[in-house]
Amino acid sequence: MAALAKALTQSHFKTTREVRNLGNLTFTSATSRVLNLSQVYVFYADDPTYKEQPFFENSQLNRAIILKHSLRVNERGLYHNQRRQVTKVILPFDPHDLRLGGRSFFIDQIGFDQTLKTYLNMDDPGKSPDVRILKYLDQLPSLDPFLVRDTLARKGVKPALCYLRLSSADLTRMASFTSAEIERLVLEAIGVDAGKASLKLGNKILSDKLDLELRPLQKALGMSDEEFRDGIFSWRGFLYYKWRHVELQDELREVLTGLGSYQPSGSFDELTKDYLRKARPRIARGVVDTLTRAGRTLHSYDTAYNALVRSRDPAPFRRFLFNGLSLFAELGNSIGTLNHVSSFWTFRMQKTQNGRKQLSSAEFADIMMDFEASLAHAIKNRHSQNN
């Protein structure tokens, strides 16, 4: 595959660099691919916890937009290795008006230390705790707030919760799913007006409004204020992962169909033809295995929640909320990888629709190698089981 990658890098096809308006990120806080600290600054700069528990010590970084980025062919020279997905840091000129743009760099690109000295006035990047945090983020497949919080906590870094809120778009899309999930609990608890009550309770859990109406739940779970706050964050995380797992099943069905049927334009050299013949089923199996692994992890949540709802036994669910954060790393990696495959496939396929030119064989092979790199763990496990 290395030979093919080199051939593609040296090929004559070009990917048009699209200018993305930062203004489109104005209302995005945290999604699986974007961590918008600029928006956090605009909305929470006066919050005491914002200043007491910052994400970064450097004020520019603490207002940055950090996102996962698939390198274009003309960007791959910024790395010595054959990386495909990297982490991009954008420093807005004005957090209050992202349309003005900003400066950007990739974490661990060639000349990374000098870039930090120039852009952020760092004397010794190698000793900076902020740089360590950047590298932790770079190692993650996703920037969803639950995986980020768990990863940083393991490293002894605990930014305030205001930095790690779901985007308003995700919250809106999750609302009906969460309401249906909570409805079973509300029915057991009050038995009437379950629809309205579950929607209201679900919205409070998603928006972190831990007011008096949640006190009965806190009391039933036997949690202190701090434990309940962390427990609700954990619950919100599992609701998010379960919601994405359900949505991904439909999204990835389209990907799996396309993997088997998409015909690139132009002629195929033997190297590319042989690679695509082997890669298509390999990637499909990796997608299915990763989705299945995430489902098994989520089953432990369902078991604990069912004990609370059906048996009215809060102990298993309470234990699960305490210990559930330990599952975020596995879930976040699986869901993050699948999010990338789904969103990148949709993005590239949309560019070929509405009469636009089909992908060439070289371009399609390049996408397949991106997916193989993302699914490397699942593909390796499958290969080990077959040997």
pLDDT at 136: 95
pLDDT at 10: 41
pTM attached to this predicted model = 0.76
Map residue 379 onto helix, strand or coil: helix
Residue numbers in the chain where pLDDT is lower than 50 = 2-20, 27, 29, 190, 192
Q: Which string of b and e fits 16-37 if b means at least 16 CB within 10 Å?
A: eeeeeebeebbebbbbbbbbbb
pLDDT at 378: 74
H-helix or E-strand containing 374?
helix 361-374
CA distances 341 to 194, 256, 312, 335, 380, Å, are 37, 10, 39, 10, 17
pLDDT at 175: 82
Name beta bridge partners: 105: 89
Which two tokens mark 30?
């945290």
